[in-house]
Structure 1
Amino acid sequence: MSQYNHILVAIDLSDEADDVLDKAKSLAETYQARLTLVHVVEPLSVAYGSDIPLDLTTLQDEITQQARERISRLADSIHLDKGEQHVVYGRPEREVHRIAEESDVDLIVVGSHGRHGLALILGSTSTSILHGACCDVLAVRVGKS
């Protein structure tokens, strides 16, 4: 088994984020590795289509602020320094890959619902993170199977 020195845990803000964070924290303790937490806020125009004829700036700012508050609470629960918490804006797979490369991460931990069939073919965020990652990726099974 590999020795991991820096683990990046990429979480959404669902209730299942706690399970993913717990797994990453356990791995970080086992390997005495640095742990970094990231959440990516997707642009609303990407999530809901760019045909929306509204100025979504205020709503996007509010979503980002709520994400920062939630990440801060999660990080505080495991005593993670502010410098190891990131809320970034963009496409999840691109931003997770960027942070992993820039921060010399050797393991990315993500949650996965273990979808099958059409959802698997179309892909998910965890699948997108897996493809193109510069390091190992651990998908933590979350939700109901």
Structure 2
Amino acid sequence: MRLGFLLTGGDQHAAEDLVQHALAKLATRWRRVAAPEAYARQTMYRQQVSWWRTSTRRGEVVLADPPEAAARDLNHQSELRLVLRAALARLTARQRAVLVLRYFEDLPEQDVARALGCSVGTVRSTAHRSLARLREIAPELAQELAAVR
């Protein structure tokens, strides 16, 4: 569910649909699948890419609304998560997928390229541009990460 949530940019309903689709597909092939978790993850990656392709043809872009900044009593870690979630939602679908697979799922560039159906060079350049855009969108994340070091 966490992976689905990250891949969909924080859309709870789309994440649930993504997980449900992956589990339904896994159930039909259960006896032939050697690694069910890996199969479900791969199915989620591919289904999300498929949904992106169809949504770009329609010209539809779904963005999560940023949270209200009124509640300052939240702990600092939760605030950073919300900022990161909102910033990820403002990235393009491909940028978000590359960052999620590369840094949240900790996959090597070759596996990310294989999962998204592109070259390793595309993964590298997209990751570079995505991180630059993320720093631009949410500078408070860069400041917090520098303070932790």
Do both proteins adopt the same fold according to a TM-score greater than 0.5, normalized to the shorter chain? Answer: no
Higher strand share: 1
TM-score by length of 2: 0.31
TM-score by length of 1: 0.31
Higher helix share: 2
Higher relative contact order (CA 8 A, sep 6+): 1
